[in-house]
Structure 1
């Protein structure tokens, strides 16, 4: 598997390297050793699957606050999504910046989301299946988010018609770049 950097501090794109034959292919989707060689020290404690019936479903932008910040590796195994992350780490050189890319069953890419990043996606096709590996257990008391269309970030989402968004995701408060953000304590950052 290949690990490539993104414009955002510590985030990475993971690409499978399929070994093909007449039956199909075999590829590593996760390798702790390869990730560590690229400075990503990721311990999986939980995996989750999300299925979406309709194109235009938007989920996000979610994160957990300290001490339950989580890293994620997100893949799309059926259909296609536009996956977006925002660096909310106040001490980061890319604080307040976003990055997005298409993850699909065809391109077999995955996105590594560091601690202190908000994450969300918009489905580009019907019947999408997304797989998450996470480094922290879901902790509802420490769940937070920013709105998908918050003017602080100006995310450029693809246009696919009417969006389907939960009430919870519509109601996140405006983010203030001068005062808001995640402060990771010692040992909570990348590579912990």
Structure 2
């Protein structure tokens, strides 16, 4: 009987230890809001543009984030033809962008790295030119104006660094490559300030 009590007490202690180990809280999922500002290049580096975005990025599992953002891209940059002649150029777009990022080292780390892609829809207006020439000392060019809805794809990567011990404030950088139906490839990079909860 004496041994029975020792076995019972030992079993209770073992059960409480297992229960304590199982009650360790799982990592808290963090949802993130990001503000981003930086540059994007129209075409194959034709001219730089400002890109601003507001993003909501909820965590999906331990190694994933969705990224839903509202973005603005735009600038005007006259093309220098030579001989004092210029051609007006501009590009402006407002996009709704959706990406999914894979975080190979996990979410909510001091350094959070993600890579992924997705697509977007938006409205863009672009002014450029089809041809330009000097003809008998007369400069002439044919403008090209496009506007309307557009769609495209995005591939991007980001790295965020925690600014506080709770990992709720972060600063990072995002690089992206995107294409749409009214412009060529638009590579760019933005600085991001994030707030998680």
Which TM-score tier does this pair reach, normalised by the shorter chain? under 0.3
* Pair member with larger Rg: 2
User: Scaled by the length of structure 1, what TM-score is found?
Assistant: 0.23
Structure with higher RCO (Cα < 8 A, 6+ apart): 1
User: Scaled by the length of structure 2, what TM-score is found?
Assistant: 0.23
